[in-house]
Every structure is written in structure tokens, then in C-alpha cells.
Amino acid sequence: MKSQKISSGRPGLDEILIGGFVPHSTNLLRGGPGVGKTTFGLHFLIQGIQQKEKCLFITLGESVSNIKRNAAQLGLDIGGIEFLDLSPEPEFFSKVETYDIFTPAEVEREPTTHKIVEVIDKLKPARVFLDAITQFKFLAVDNFQFRKQALSFLHYLQTHKATVLFTTEASQLAPDDDLQFMADAVLNLEFSNHSRTLRVSKFRGSDYIQGFHGYRIMQGGIEVHPNLVPPLSMGKIATQQLRFGIPELDQQLHGGIESATINIITGHSGVGKTTLCLQLATQAAKDGFNSILYTFEEEAHMMASRCKTLKMKTGEALENKLLSIKKVEPLLYSADEFAHMVREDVKKENVSLVIIDSIAGYKISLHDTDIVKKMHALCKFLQNNGITVVLINEIDNITGDFKITDEGLSYLADNIIFIRFLELKGELTKAIGVLKKRTGSAESTMRRLWMESGGIHIGEPLTQLRGILRGIPEWTDNDKNDE
């Protein structure tokens, strides 16, 4: 029988650790300054206080007054936590103390050890946070003594039934490799490219979610955003068709797009991709499906205004809470944070359709991370949970050879719908077609598309045109097709 895990105090971190820390284990938090090690430790202890456990914070560097002030600024309630302050006192600087026979380490080690033992024996804490254990190096005459002392101290805490979280201040001059060997779990915190990431490199006695996971330090503390791991299979999901509510387009798709599919709607800027997706969401609302559209570019009120001009019923869907439009600023969100937002939204609002507008906007939030890997994880997670996904992709070149996406994401798509500008008889118009339909057949011809105050309109098949995908349409005979 597996022992129950000890919560880290952060739901996202507990998910990564498959429930939390192993009871009575020693766990290392390592990373440079400013990555949030102390804040993680406070969350760990606060969780213990909430569970009526005795918790101890041993600080060897920062003073307790600074810790309490910083916690208050983040809005953390640390009442109930016991502190053992072993940081240097201000008076130490003004004192001149010499040790003629013994080294400073030998003189200071005994009283420090005595203070720790006294507090542990008296309090008997269930959780201990030690910040930072590398300060013990100054109480040891050499590395061998430090390793022996640190290992003995961790074992001492374990024998007193404590679950321990401790930090290191690692550097090239003072590596912490030996401490990584001692710890049961090692969590690596990093801050680079304007984003913070967490990675578990070791976890004895438990599985964990591998890879780099995002986290953010904000008012209220730390929020951890685990990598999405798609379920291995979809299981039994009832397949339904989602209609656009435009008879000619639904005819092109032989009824519509199937639920729990990944779809790409691709085309030039201003060609009507977002409006077409809003029509899909509006029809989905009429058919009883909840939808959410994430926009990285256009403002939500501008979308709603355009739909009103086209006399679409999008406003009713928004009022009835069957459609939500969320503006996302990509410079403020990492890819993991956005994925976490999507996952929470679809769970809370029972969403059946997710629209991401657009791939280019989403890419900005990646901070040089692999877009294919992140988009694959997000889309497959949604699909395997029975949710239909629509990705909006913008093509840069108006003329020239046709290209579905610039990111190599077309392999993900079950269905691909494209809209393309055309120049016919000196006028700019548009054509729409279905390039791929993995779950069934679709009409192979393209049709003219136009939008006016009456809504979105699609004409008869353009059977007399060729070269549309190259952006240079030509008539096949002298009879002009007015549509």
C-alpha cells in the first residue's frame, strides 16, 4: 500500500509530483537568486499549518523580519509558523572576534547545532523548511566535514518524522552536487527569457511529470502551470457534427466538422477567418454547445460589433453565456500559463468548442519555445477530452504557391479549411475550399465567399477556374462564371 503524499502547498506542483512529496523525505529546491525558493518554502509550511501540523522555518541567511515583510507584500498569511533565526546579527559586523586556537567554524558550529536540536526536540515539527543548507559550509572545516554534517542533519530530521524542504545557493565556486545525491527529490528553478520554469530531475519512490513547467510569482504567491500531458486515448466519445449554419459551407463539408477534431482555418489577413469561426461558435450555441474563443490580437468588442453588423446572432450567444471571448495578451502569458488557463476554463464552463485566434499570436507567448511541441500537447489534450479545436492561421503572401501554415502544424489537423483572395475582372474577391477532411469526405470544388450586412454568403462551385491556389486564377473557357 502506497503512503499518502504530503502536499507542497501549490496545486500545480502537486500535480507535477503526482500528489506531492513523499512523507518524511528530504527535498531540495535549487536555483539562482530571485527564482522564488523562499516563497515555495512558505507555501509548503502554510499548507502544513492549514492541516494543523507544526511547522518550522530555519533561516541561515535572510533575517526573519525580512521574510515576514516579503510574505506580507505577497499577501501570504504565515501566522502559526515557528522560526529559528540563525542569520548573522547586525552587531556581528561591529564586533572584532579572534579565535587563537580554534577555527571560527569549530567555535560557531556547536552553539548553532545546539539551537537546532533544542527547537526540534521541543517543537517536533511535521514540516521543516531550511534556507539555505549551503550556509553550513561555513561551519565545517572542509568539504568532507560539511557533507557528513549535512547528511547527519537531514537524517536527524527524518528520524524525528519531519518532511524536509531545503534550498541551496549553488554557484560554480560552491557547487551543490553532493547535496543533490543526499536529497530524495531535486527541483530545479530557473529564470530566463522573461519566464520562470521548474523541472524535477530526481524523485525517489515516486513517478512525476517530466519536462519544464512554467510558474509565476504574483500577488498571493506562486502559481505553477504543469505541462499538459494528453490522455493516451480518447476513450468512448459520442461523435457529433458541428455545423456552420451556412448551407453551402455545410454542403462543402458534407454536413459539418465532427466533434473532438482539430481544425485549421487558414487564409490571408482580412479574409474573414475569425468571422467564420464566430459563425461556427454562434451556430454551436444554437445547437446547445458551449464555446470559447481566445483572441491574441483583435479586441473582443470589435469582434462582437462586426458580427452585429453582419446580423449574426453572436450577441445572443454571448448574453446566454454559451459563447465566451477572452482577450489574451501574449507578452504577459507563457505557453504553459495559457494552457493552464484553457484547461481550467473548459472544465469550469463545460466547453465543447475551443477557438484559438491565432497561431501567430500564440507563438509570441512561447518565448522561443518549440511551437509544434506546445501546440501538439494543448490540442491533443483538448481533443482527447472530447473537445473540438479550431486554430486560425494567417498566411503572409497573398500571391504565390499555397502554404497551409508556416509552423509545420498541418499534420495536427483533421480538417483544413482555406480562404483565399482572388482578383477577378479587376475586383478583389475570395474563395473558400476544404483542403483536408480526415474523418470523412468533402466537396473538392472551391466556392466564392463574400460578407455583407445580410451575413456570410457562399456561392456555387467555381468549376471554371484554375490556378486559385497559386493566386493566379484563369478561366478554362470563354464562359465567365459570375459567382
Q: What pLDDT, in 10s, does the model give residues 183-208?
A: 999 999 998 877 899 999 999 989 99
Classify domain 241-475 by CATH architecture: 3-Layer(aba) Sandwich (3.40)
What CA–CA distance (Å, rounded) separates 391 from 360?
A: 10
Of 61, 51, 57, the C-alpha closest to 82 is: 57
For residue 203, give Cα distances in angstroms to 11, 136, 157, 208.
Answer: 18, 24, 19, 7
The phi and psi torsions of 258 (rounded to 5 degrees) equal: -75, 150
Give the Cβ contact number of residue 33 at 10 Å. 7
Q: What pLDDT digit, counting tens, does each position of 149-159 carry?
A: 888 889 999 99
Q: What is the pLDDT of residue 131?
A: 92
Q: Are 256 and 241 in contact (CB under 8 A)?
A: yes
Q: Are 18 and 208 in contact (CB under 8 A)?
A: yes
pLDDT at 102 exceeding the cut of 50? no
pLDDT at 476 exceeding the cut of 60? yes
Q: Burial code of 354-372, b = ≥16 C-beta within 10 A, e = fewer?
A: bbbbbbbbbbebbbebebe
Residues in the chain: 483
Q: Are 336 and 223 in contact (CB under 8 A)?
A: no
Confidence of residue 453 (pLDDT cuts 50, 70, 90): confident
**What is the CA angle 455-456-462, rounded to 5?**
145
What CA–CA distance (Å, rounded) separates 398 from 211?
A: 39
How do the domains of the chain map onto residue ranges?
A: 11-225, 241-475
Q: What pLDDT digit, counting tens, does each position of 112-167 carry?
A: 778 888 999 999 999 999 998 887 776 666 677 778 888 888 999 999 999 999 99
DSSP annotation string for 350-396 = T-SEEEEE-HHHHHHTTTT--HHHHHHHHHHHHHTTT-EEEEEEEES
What CA–CA distance (Å, rounded) separates 369 from 342?
A: 18
Consecutive H or E run containing 373: helix 371-383
Q: Do domains 11-225 and 241-475 have the same CATH topology?
A: yes
Topology adopted by domain 11-225: Rossmann fold (3.40.50)
Of 297, 257, 320, the C-alpha closest to 394 is: 297
What CA–CA distance (Å, rounded) separates 382 from 239?
A: 15
Q: What pLDDT digit, counting tens, does each position of 250-270 carry?
A: 999 999 999 999 999 999 888
Q: What pLDDT digit, counting tens, does each position of 384-425 carry?
A: 999 999 999 988 766 556 667 778 888 999 999 999 888 777
pLDDT at 286 exceeding the cut of 90? yes
pTM value?
0.83
Give mean pLDDT, residues 275-289: 96
